[in-house]
Amino acid sequence: MTSLQTFPDAAAWADACAARLTDTLAAALAETGKAVFAGSGGSTPAPIYARMARTDLDWSRVTVTLIDERYVPETSPDSNAALIRQALLTGAAAAARFVPLFQSEVTVDRAAALAANALAHEGGRLDAVLLGMGEDGHICSMFPNSPTLKTLLTPTLKPAVYGVPRGRDGAAPSLERLSINLPYLMTARRVVLAITGSAKRAVFEREAAGDPTVQPIAALIAANIPLDCLWMEKA
């Protein structure tokens, strides 16, 4: 089973996450002249993004996108794109090209198709990916019992973006979402899973030993994705 690398404090943990991601982007730039980074939303990644933004990369040759997004415009406090713009695309990193998943005035499934086409034009693969994990074990927008879960976790499909419906009867997610699928994660040079808190450590250990057809962490491991799991105790 993939193990967690543990860090003594928030600064060391954020430094390590950022260094792994920017080192991977730098390697891609050196080899191919371009790089693609896919980030997550929520409160956890903000200090990681702040450190990445201060890294000396040629950000003008980097494309930034999201692993998932709520089906809301950037003016919404629920927007992951807004977080990326505020926390990562600042200073020198503002020169990066941003490819959003949300598109206004279309359905969530049409927005997913447009996002997939935009990412295909950026090369159709990812170099560095930052993932978080919910206390229910979800990554991206791969939620337990979602009707799209098995499709998102099918390793033999093409890399794609999917619309994810709202959960029923109070189940997550509370809003429609867009999500990349497992095959997109399988294209990555490196995936960093950033976790904090003892509760999420227990969830990770449970999920890692689970069924890869319905449990996303188990699916990551079964697909042999180049995965770094970084954890600190303080949530």
Residues 11-20 have pLDDT tens digits of 999 999 999 9
pLDDT bucket at 52, cuts 50 / 70 / 90: very high
pLDDT bucket at 191, cuts 50 / 70 / 90: very high
Tell which residue, 84, 24, 9, has the closest CA to residue 50.
Answer: 84
Please determine, for residue 96, whether its predicted confidence score (pLDDT) is greater than 70: yes
Task: Mark 40-71 as b/e (b = at least 16 C-beta within 10 Å).
Answer: bbeebbebbbbbbbebebebebbbbbbbbbbb
Number of domains in the chain: 1
Query: Domain containing 161: what range?
Result: 56-180
3-state secondary structure of 190: strand
Please determine, for residue 1, whether its predicted confidence score (pLDDT) is greater than 70: no
pLDDT of 209: 96
pLDDT of 235: 65
Instruction: Report residue 56 as tokens.
Output: 């000396």
pTM: 0.97
For the chain, what is the radius of gyration of the CA atoms? Answer: 16
Query: Helix, strand, coil: what percent of the chain each, to 5?
Result: 35, 20, 45
**Residue 223 is assigned to a structural domain of this protein:** no
Least confident stretch, 22-26, 103-107, 120-124, 212-216:
103-107
Least confident stretch, 2-11, 60-69, 199-208:
2-11
Phi, psi dihedrals of residue 119, rounded to the nearest 5° = -70, -35
**Residue 24 is assigned to a structural domain of this protein:** no
Q: What is the mean pLDDT of residues 75-101?
A: 97
Please determine, for residue 2, whether its predicted confidence score (pLDDT) is greater than 80: no
Instruction: Report residue 203 as tokens.
Output: 């969830």
**Residue 2 is assigned to a structural domain of this protein:** no
pLDDT bucket at 115, cuts 50 / 70 / 90: very high
183 burial via Cβ count (<10 Å: 0-12, 13-18, 19+): middle
pLDDT of 229: 97
> What's the CA gap between 4 and 152, in Å, rounded?
24
Please determine, for residue 189, whether its predicted confidence score (pLDDT) is greater than 90: yes
**Residue 202 is assigned to a structural domain of this protein:** no
The whole-chain average pLDDT of the chain stands at 96
pLDDT of 127: 98
Please determine, for residue 155, whether its predicted confidence score (pLDDT) is greater than 80: yes
pLDDT of 214: 97
pLDDT of 66: 98
**Residue 88 is assigned to a structural domain of this protein:** yes
pLDDT of 234: 83
**Residue 221 is assigned to a structural domain of this protein:** no
**Residue 9 is assigned to a structural domain of this protein:** no
Q: What is the mean pLDDT of residues 79-87?
A: 96
Tell which residue, 40, 12, 24, has the closest CA to residue 226.
Answer: 24
Share of the chain above pLDDT 70, in %: 99
**Residue 104 is assigned to a structural domain of this protein:** yes
Q: What is the mean pLDDT of residues 135-150?
A: 96
Give the CATH number for residue 105.
3.40.50.1360
